[in-house]
Structure 1
């Protein structure tokens, strides 16, 4: 045996690794980091959610029971939401970095935050989730995972660009949030960035590894279920396509009204000039909205939408409309006054309530069609991400027969929302972020 053969070399003296195409060789170094980031993103999400749920149980069940009051009473709702505003306001004011830029200026995929401000972001997110605020965990958890992945990744593999670590962390977190890597692929396919000549699957390979690892970890730990209970869909009909287009478009219009109001509400709260005042006022308003809408309009909305659909006959059309509008108003207030949280899960609850309202008005429209179409319209107006909105609506309905109808319904709804403002503060309004973050010494 020759020396070349003994060491696995070909007769030409080349190593078998070199026979792998350059494109594949470029992907291999990121496989292990992607796996680690995906698993880590899921574990952080699960840990934060678990802690928030324990605190929520303590604040809304154990503590009021011990005091002999009802955790669903108007007084307790007002007290808890106001206390959450005070607590988050103090964190923004006193923690290093003041929890970073104003959450109203940040979307799901944004540049990494400085690592030093992450403890404040994490604590503010936990209080927001546990305190009953109408926001989800997606934005702060994604920001934390992105910041950690970039800080560690650039040290371990400095030749990789920061955009690589951002994409891996976003994919891992989104995969963990929704329990499937498909949502991550859809979000990244819509994300704008530097033009990349590589094929789509090459660009998404490492993020899909991270998303797959995150989703598998979440499924193994928590087995999330995003579907809601509704009557089975009898089968496609032409009238259902027409109904889906009308409901999706109407839901988009209703949500766009809130989008137009969003910057004005943001401006009103920021005129208070101090994060504690701003968030306390926001908590008071959210408490009043919680009293008006009841417990179903509190928190991120995932469990609440399941409770809502478990007994649709218990809610009249007027009550369903009230729930949707109160939740929409709570989302606008919570996102504009400085609470840390995302908009996707509350938007899904709003869509479910609007879909049930549409079905209550016109009972011939199948419930699954009404709910899926309304969720599609609300998400299109809220996130301006077509593929994600379509995915969430289809997953929620859990019926493949609805997918063609939703694809058709997305067209007029997208026509309604495209070119309109987003539920995001941009341009000159982003200067200053939260008052404490803009001028940290001026509020001391």
Structure 2
């Protein structure tokens, strides 16, 4: 087999070596960044309520927390270089990689809004940290090499919370599918090497220190056999419904971004208060903790996957409405990653319907995760791979439904009317 042009070039080999090397410090920085974020989140939502006499965060807890998040975020948006990073509604890989100059604002924005309850994930700030550190190490490289190293740094960072380098590499590969074959390989290989080296260090430090590494995992998932006709009968329209819900939330996020862009200071605070109100509404309606609707949704998704039957349909629908609207507002006003909440929303919709005749909990969870991520990212292969890794051995039997759900969700969002903005 012929070697793609450029892969044997000495300059590219040096670039590949540098990609493997930078994955190690990027993983270390990401480890402590995620660890600090989780410690702050635990303090805000668990330690502090206990300290003031509550068994759990009361229903009104999100109101002052999100107000504070908005007030602290405004100076970052208006005064720091880079305005705290990319707007989440623009997508996970929008724009050029974040440079070193913008890193302080990105880190400060993430450590401000994510622990205080913004309905966003840590994936976008981590990618920004990875690209900024990589570009700092590649200051003497040319523009083309810097862009590859910046992408490799982002991939190494996001691999730390996506369960390993494989889903991160597939994400990059599918996102770069418009490139020619050789050019795609020259982008993918540095990303794969950097994320592999980084994941090894990140995981090792997690075992050594005992700190939570923050990767999205599902320790327990429903175990059922191969999907039958009933699962596909309900699964296809459910994938359509999930795609429509996620697409509508994304569009609302883009509209919110356009609205806050005209007066960032006042309108960002208003959006933060609105998010706090939606999270409080979930707690009032369901009698459960507002923490379930706040934050990225990692913990809530793990609880849902472990015991889907323990969630009433009404509770799941309230979660979808309140968290979905809060997520949409955060997409256009806060800073963070858009994917993790979309995964929970897709799973919640599907599990709420798992009581339908012929639809099992495991197929519902599989199709919900896949459709939710596909509808947001429009990357069906990466979404299917990520769902498979999340569900582990249980995904083997569900793979036909996972693939069909990915295709149906993608076709649905492509057939919806053109997005505004």
- TM-score category, normalised to shorter length: 0.7 to 0.9
Q: Which residue, out of 368, 373, 383, partners 1:374?
A: 368
5 Å-filtered alignment, 1:16-55, equals: 23-26=7-10, 27-55=12-40
Aligned 8 A contact 2:99 2:131 in 1: no
Do the aligned partners of residues 419 and 115 (structure 1) sit closer, same or farther apart at CA in structure 2, a change above 3 Å counting? farther
Distance change in 2, residues 1:168/1:98 (3 Å)? closer
CA distance in 2 between counterparts of 1:169 and 1:162 reads: 10
Structure 2: distance between partners of 1:302 and 1:248: 21
Deviations 1:93-116 (A, max 9, x none): 343454355454453353133422
> For 2:223, what is the secondary structure of its paired residue?
coil
Query: RMSD across aligned C-alpha pairs, in angstroms?
Result: 2.7
- Alpha-carbon contact 1:170-1:184 (below 8 Å) kept: no
Q: In the TM superposition, what whole-angstrom CA distance separates every residue of 1:216-274 from its partner, at most 9, and x where no partner exists?
A: 22332337452253321222423333333232222112222223333333344345x13
1:117 has 2:113 as partner: no
Alignment gaps of 5+ in structure 1:
1-20, 427-444
Comparing 87-96 and 197-206, the one that deviates more: 197-206
Count of residues paired in the alignment? 400
**Structure-2 separation of matches of 1:114 and 1:421:** 35
Equivalence for 1:163: 147
Distance 2:340 2:77 in 1: 24
Alignment of 1:43-442 (within 5 A): 43-69=28-54, 71-99=56-84, 102-105=87-90, 107-155=92-140, 157-158=141-142, 161-192=145-176, 195-196=179-180, 198=182, 201=185, 203-222=187-206, 224=215, 226-227=217-218, 229-271=220-262, 273-275=263-265, 277-293=266-282, 294-337=290-333, 339-360=334-355, 362=356, 364-398=358-392, 399-418=395-414, 420=416
Q: Against the structure 1 CA distance between its residues 314 and 102, is the aligned structure 2 distance closer, same or farther, given a 3 Å change threshold?
A: closer
Shift of 1:130: 0.8
Offset of residue 78 of structure 1? 0.9
State which drifts further: 107-116 or 173-182: 107-116
Aligned to 2:210: none
**Mapped contact 1:321–1:354 kept (Cα < 8 A):** yes
In structure 2, distance between residues paired with 1:109 and 1:215: 24
TM-score by length of 1: 0.82
Task: Go from structure 1 to structure 2 and tell me whether the alpha carbon gap of 1:137 and 1:24 turns closer, same or farther (over 3 Å shift).
Answer: same
Matched-pair contact (CA < 8 Å) for 2:91–2:377: no
Is the 1:78–1:284 Cα contact (8 Å) retained in structure 2?
yes
Cα distance in 1, alignment partners of residues 417 and 374 from structure 2: 12
Q: CA deviation at 1:330?
A: 1.2
Q: Deviations over 1:351-395 (max 9, x none)?
A: 2211210103x1531111101111222212211222222122222
SS of aligned partner of 2:119: coil
Contact 1:296 1:308 (8 Å CA) reproduced: no
Deviation at 1:298, TM superposition (A): 0.7
SS at match of 1:131: coil
Bigger shift: residues 107-116 or 161-170: 107-116
1:230 aligned counterpart, secondary structure: coil
Deviations 1:148-187, CA, capped at 9 Å, x for gaps? 21232132x4485222112311221232221222112212
How far apart are the structure 2 equivalents of 1:263 and 1:35? 36
Counterparts of 1:42 and 1:421, CA distance in 2 = 40
Bigger radius of gyration among the two:
1
Which is further off, 171-180 or 58-67?
58-67
Specify whether residues 90 and 422 from structure 1 end up closer, same or farther in structure 2 by C-alpha distance, changes over 3 A only.
farther
Tell which deviates more after alignment, 52-61 or 320-329: 52-61
